[in-house]
């Protein structure tokens, strides 16, 4: 995760330098045309559990969504960007010893609403760099934890709904809603774009458990 944060920090510093150079050289940064489009991202979710003996089940997943921007300044290319994304993530691991095995699978599904402020830096007629920061709301739709035990006598499995306190207990129950902060940058190449970002939850998803998400995405603007 430290490598992801360093990469993101370097990219944002480059954005700041490009913006400063643009104003210093009198370049045009006044394109205030809003955009809308679709986005697809690979997401790496870092689950940080702050209790003794815990192992953080980092998850891999993807997100597909729609974004829409609005110009919010008369003379500067500042925009408000929002939209809706559907995200899927999964973690799996296996443990085995002396003919016995234990498999774990964690599957999640959620909706995310971004609330970002974006600054658009025109590099030329085809390229534009757009650093952003803001907040997000995530509604957790599904969270299931499946355990399967097997030995020479056979196998048995159990699936737990992580929103059901009767199944996982008070400390293991997940929250339905997350609110957090995010930062990143997008590079527009004509109508196509690529970008990276990092998001961090403000509130716990479960007792002593928080999530951070690194994203690498591609998209297309209409």
Residue ranges of domains in the chain, CATH in brackets: 2-25+38-142+178-221 (2.40.160)
pTM: 0.85
Q: What is the pLDDT of residues 154-197, one digit of tens each?
A: 889 999 999 999 999 998 999 999 999 999 999 999 999 999 99
| Nearest C-alpha neighbor of 195 from the set 174, 220, 175 | 220
Between 27 and 94, the higher pLDDT residue: 94
Q: What is the DSSP string of 82-145?
A: EEEEEEEEEEEEEEEETTEEEEEEEEEEEEEEEEEEEE-EE-SSSEEEEEEEEEEEEEEEEEEE
């Amino acid at each position: 995760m430290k490598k992801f944060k360093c990469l993101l920090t370097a990219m944002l510093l480059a954005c700041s330098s490009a913006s400063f150079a643009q104003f210093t050289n009198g370049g045009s940064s006044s394109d205030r045309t809003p955009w809308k489009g679709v986005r697809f991202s690979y997401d790496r979710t870092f689950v940080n559990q702050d209790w003794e003996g815990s192992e953080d089940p980092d998850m891999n997943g993807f997100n597909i969504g729609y974004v829409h921007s609005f110009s919010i300044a008369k003379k500067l290319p500042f925009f408000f960007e929002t939209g809706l994304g559907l995200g899927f993530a999964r973690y799996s691991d296996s443990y085995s010893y002396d003919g016995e095995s234990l498999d774990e699978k964690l599957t999640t599904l959620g909706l995310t609403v971004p609330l970002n402020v974006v600054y658009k830096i025109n590099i030329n007629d085809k390229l534009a760099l757009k650093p952003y920061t803001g907040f997000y709301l995530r509604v957790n739709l599904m969270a299931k934890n499946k355990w399967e035990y097997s030995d020479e006598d056979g196998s048995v499995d159990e699936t737990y709904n992580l929103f059901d306190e009767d199944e996982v207990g008070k400390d293991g129950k997940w929250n339905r809603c997350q609110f957090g902060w995010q930062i990143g940058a997008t590079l527009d190449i004509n109508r196509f774009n690529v970008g990276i970002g990092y998001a961090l939850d403000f509130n716990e998803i479960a007792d002593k458990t928080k999530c951070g998400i690194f994203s690498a995405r591609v998209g297309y603007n209409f």
